[in-house]
Amino acid sequence: MTAPSNTATGELISTDPRTGAEVGRFPVADDAATTAAVVTARDAAQWWAGLPPKARRNWLLRFRGELARNSEELATLISAETGKPVDDAVLEVMLAVVHLDWAATHAEKELRRRAVPSGLLGANLTATVEYRPFGVVGVIGPWNYPVFTPMGSISYALAAGNAVVFKPSELTTAVGRFLADAWAATCPGTPVLQVIQGGGETGAALCRSGVDKLAFTGSAVTARAVMTTCARTLTPVTIEGGGKDAFIVADDADIDAAVDAAAFGAFGNAGQTCAGVERVYVVADRYEEFVEKLAAKARALRGGDDEAADYGPATMPEQLTIIRRHIDDALDRGARALVGGRDSVGATTAQPVVLVDVPHDSTAVTEETFGPTVVVTAVADVDEAIDLANTSSFGLSAAIMTRDVSRGRELARRLRTGSVAVNSFLSFASVPALPFGGLGDSGFGRIHGADGLREFSRPQAVAAQRFKPPMNLLTFDRKARDMTTVRMMLRHVYGR
């Protein structure tokens, strides 16, 4: 058991899931420490929001440089706390840096004041809208992508002019500390990004602390607790929840490419990806070829503690119980394991499992497994695949494999998800201009892109009177003839 200790000493100790070796040790932030961090952030937020946009951009680009220059050190730390291969961690840092760069360089253009048409009744007004920062944003992160995921909120919140108090997962505390230290090294003495450490209690304290917005990434169960706490103070929340993503293989798909993408999506990062591939629907004509090749690919993969392994152990050992339960449920109810089976879940690591003939109400299909398992189902056609994909309570993302890209885009519109990759896995996450987020149990609100910048801003509308209106209707002294004109306009302009 390599879970962190949150002991009577009030310390959090994070460990390497491969070896059990200690990686980081930090004091747990209680209510008082959490509130103090938010008070500090409030001062910093004033300074930060008052900077000219170009100055903010420059600081954020320096922050980007700091992270990029120290990316090997950061990747090694990610690997140590999560157990994922260092190369995967480097990719994660790369993605985070690309988003930070985009947020920094696009915030001014996307959020600045712009004029909007003032309309018939407002002909004497100049109407403008501008996206102003909230103030202090609380960010609560998960452990599976401890840099990329929280930075999806942190980068966009900072670029929009907010200060951030970040509570990383209790499993990836040292990574959280690294991010705050990198900011402090970039811009000393300006606590625009702070980190507080702790588990659920500290997260709940952050929800209660008076932050102006809370961005949560984690499971649907915790999301409900976060919303309940935030509801007491009407603190607005963004929820990036889990997923049960579908991967659809159409009749005209390139099967080798589909197998490659599905295997990486299902088994990469030990299956611990919110938008990982958990369900595959293959059109019947291509099913045999697909499952045969996927099974061969899966058999060649190995999870383990060593550097040669394709993926690491489960970061959170408790997850192995859920993975085992889903496999058992499927097999008990008539499913077959083409690769692996009940014995694939070891003490620290799960080996690849490919399940077929799984009843559609089995937990392996309905619940997030978060392990290196995948359920493959044959369907009559893509219409059936889309219907089945849409039965999930989650709605994070999906993938469609078809040689006809415009058909892929049309099919994508019928999927009840926040994002869709056509002919690839997860590619949308690497495009910083694209918003990311889900619906249903996958949450709401968006990070990334212009929508992500606006998610961390409050739109402020200003109507400035340039000259006295020909008819002043908002006065006790309005004229009867003006009301006659209003009545005429109502009938003739809008009553047609």
x/- letters, 386..425, toward ligand NAD (CB under 6 A):
----------x-----------------------------
384 is catalytic: no
Q: How many whole angstroms separate alpha carbon 61 and alpha carbon 459? A: 25
Span near ligand NAD by CB under 6 A; candidates 67-75, 81-89, 122-130, 195-203: 195-203
> Binding of ligand NAD at residue 88 (CB under 6 A)?
no
Q: Residue 443 region, left (φ>0) first, then alpha (ψ -120 to 50), else beta? A: left
> Binding of ligand NAD at residue 241 (CB under 6 A)?
yes
> Binding of ligand NAD at residue 435 (CB under 6 A)?
no
> Binding of ligand NAD at residue 89 (CB under 6 A)?
no
Q: How far is the CB of 414 from ligand NAD (least distance, A)?
A: 21
Give 79 or 144: the residue with its C-beta nearer to ligand NAD: 144
> Binding of ligand NAD at residue 245 (CB under 6 A)?
no
List the catalytic residue out of 66, 81, 170, 274.
274
Q: What are phi and psi of 377, to 5 degrees?
A: -130, 135
- β partners of residue 370: none
Q: How many whole angstroms separate alpha carbon 79 and alpha carbon 174? A: 11
Residue from 157, 196, 204, 453 in contact with ligand NAD (CB under 6 A): 204
Q: How many whole angstroms separate alpha carbon 196 and alpha carbon 168? A: 8
Q: How far is the CB of 209 from ligand NAD (least distance, A)?
A: 11
* Residues numbered 257-296 forming contacts with ligand NAD, rule: CB under 6 A: 274
Residue from 17, 135, 161, 243 in contact with ligand NAD (CB under 6 A): 243
Q: What are phi and psi of 85, to 5 degrees?
A: -60, 145
187 is catalytic: no
List the catalytic residue out of 66, 81, 170, 240.
240
Q: How far is the CB of 274 from ligand NAD (least distance, A)?
A: 3
Q: How far is the CB of 275 from ligand NAD (least distance, A)?
A: 7
Please work out the total of residues on this chain that contact ligand NAD, with binding judged by CB under 6 A.
29
Span near ligand NAD by CB under 6 A; candidates 77-85, 167-175, 263-271, 404-412: 167-175
Give 378 or 399: the residue with its C-beta nearer to ligand NAD: 399
Cβ proximity of 153 and 193 under 8 Å? no
Residue from 92, 278, 329, 368 in contact with ligand NAD (CB under 6 A): 368
Q: Which residue is nearest to ligand NAD (CB)?
A: 203
CB neighbour list of residue 456: distance below 8 Å, 6 or more residues apart: 133, 134, 137, 153, 156, 157, 160, 162, 213, 215
Residues at the interface with ligand NAD (CB under 6 A): 140-145, 149, 167, 169-170, 199-200, 203-204, 207, 217-219, 222, 225-226, 240-243, 274, 368, 370, 396
